[in-house]
Amino acid sequence: MEVVEMVLVGKVNKNLVSLINLAGGTAVGLCGKDARLITARPSPNAAALGFVGEVARVDATAYNINADTAAGEIAAAVGAEKLLLLTDVSGILADRNDPGSLVKEIDISGVRQMVSDGQVAGGMIPKVECCVRALAQGVHTASIIDGRVPHSLLLEILTDEGTGTMITG
């Protein structure tokens, strides 16, 4: 865990912040330990998974928390209007084998049904679960978008069409 933390906080975080700042943005790098921003507890499967945890309360123990889950909890805590999760697919697909089957908008019950039916699977499940949890805690909308698409954040925020899948309450 110590090496993972050193690489993510000391190298990846700093490089990402530097690239954002060089591109004209204003970024500050934080990790969950900074100012006790995020606290964790061991996951119920911790014995099998190692240092995998869930957002919980304030303490200084380091756990590997899913970044999407952390983003959802932060969005809810700060009263965000919208949660945006970036990934390497266009969003939720009606057919996982058809990249052209993007679901543009869906509500909580619809996305839960897609998970239940097996249409949403694998790494998309934690993203969907975090969106549903954020919505339940007061975030108005949550979107899963392809971060590889140029200007995907701006397109999602500033256009009516967006770029990925928007989940609503």
- Put residue 55 in one of left, alpha, beta given phi > 0 → left and psi -120 to 50 → alpha: beta
- pLDDT score, position 51: 65
Q: Is residue 10 part of a domain?
A: no
Tell me the C-alpha distance between 105 and 101, whole Å.
Answer: 12
Host domain of residue 101: 80-169
pLDDT of res. 138: 96
The domain that holds 157 is classified in CATH as 3.40.1160.10
pLDDT of residue 26: 82
For the chain of 169 residues, list the mean pLDDT of each consecutive stretch of 10.
76 86 84 68 68 59 80 91 95 93 97 96 93 97 96 92 94
Flag whether 159 is in a domain.
Answer: yes
Q: Does 86 map to a domain?
A: yes
The count of domains in the chain is 1
Is 155 part of any domain?
yes
Residue 113 lies in a domain: yes
Terminal Cα-to-Cα distance of the chain (whole angstroms) = 36
Asked if the structure places residue 28 within a domain, the reply is no
Residue 15 lies in a domain: no
**What is the pLDDT at residue 7?**
76
**Residue 98 domain flag:** yes
Strand boundaries in the chain, DSSP class E: 40-42, 53-55, 82-87, 105-107, 141-146, 165-168
What pLDDT sits at residue 5? 77
Q: Is this structure's pTM higher than 0.75?
A: no
